[in-house]
Amino acid sequence: MSLDRRATVRLFRERLTHAMRRAETNRSRLAADAGIDRSTLSQLLSEDADRLPRADTVAAVAQVLQVSLDWLMGLTAQEKLGADILRESVEVALSRPTAPSDENLQRWHREAAGYKIRYVPATLPDLAKTEAVLTYEYSGYAAKKPSEAIAAASRKLDYSRAPDADFEICCSRQVIESFADGCGVWSGLSRDQRVEQLEHMAALSDELYPRLRIFLFDGLRHYATPYTVFGPKRAALFLGEMYFVFNTTEHIRLLTEHFDRLIRAAVVQAHEAPQFLREVAARTAAEPQEAGT
């Protein structure tokens, strides 16, 4: 028998013994519950065993013991059943008065300390918003008060100023230009408030570079829903008053690759962002002030 096969047989026997002990079952009970002969089970548990079990035998035993078939055969280190893995790989973090989503964000940022954080904001990045813009945005918002939004943005900014911070922010160039023009939801902001915001964002991107890097992609060629990748720890999609959170390596990797594609497609690179923002601010400042604003 080859060394690889011998190692697999030994690992199967060790894991089967462990699973039986944890389930507080014996050979007779397990054989009866799994519908196999007790002698067959005894052979599998024998240190003299020199053959791998049949697939249907392993499947029956795994089902009774509530462990992963792949784990029993040594194909994975994850002991839990696939359904359990799936339930734990995805979670929903709700925003509600008794447990605001900002508490989750604070924890996620703390747990990702020292890792790169990749962030696609819904509009402008919160950490770069002025108090005037945050007050305007959240004045009628049901899930969060302006004071809470300002405090949360301040905490995010503090994270980005930490010595080991590594933030990448990527949003569309059109988001910046629509804000500057006062389009859509921004129509209630005065020209001066919009100019102040753009200049503030330019100053921060200058001050914090390279710990904080802002990239802009062309929204006519690429699209991204709001999400954050907290290093290798987790990735969170923002759905509006809640986050859809992925904890599995594969999901995190896919969103990281998507973010990296946005970076490669950026039409404004991080070192160019301050100048771009100042130019947009200057054009906005040159526009005539709207009557009554």
Domains of the chain, by residue range, sit at: 3-79, 88-286
Mean pLDDT of 170-188: 96
Residue 82 confidence (pLDDT): 46
88-286 CATH choice from 3.40.50.1780, 3.30.870.10, 3.40.640.10, 3.30.365.10 = 3.30.870.10
CATH of domain 3-79: 1.10.260.40
Q: Look-up: residue for tokens 């990797």?
A: 253
Task: Name the least confident of 1-5, 106-110, 132-136, 177-181.
Answer: 1-5
pLDDT in tens, 222-271: 999 999 999 988 999 988 778 888 887 778 888 999 999 999 999 999 99
Q: Which residue has the tokens 């039986």?
A: 20
Amino acid at the residue 256: T
Mean residue pLDDT across the chain: 86
The one-character DSSP state at 10 is: H
Q: What is the pLDDT of residues 122-148, one digit of tens each?
A: 999 999 999 999 999 999 887 788 998
Q: What is the model's pLDDT at position 85?
A: 42
Averaged pLDDT for residues 7-29:
87
Helical residues (DSSP H) of 24-116, grouped into ranges: 27-34, 38-45, 55-65, 69-72, 82-89, 101-111
The amino acid at residue 177 is E
Percentage with pLDDT > 70 across the chain: 87
Determine contact, residues 126/156, Cβ cutoff 8 Å. Answer: yes
Rounded to whole angstroms, the Cα distance separating 15 from 20 reads 9
Q: What is the pLDDT of residue 97?
A: 44
pLDDT the model gives residue 80 = 53
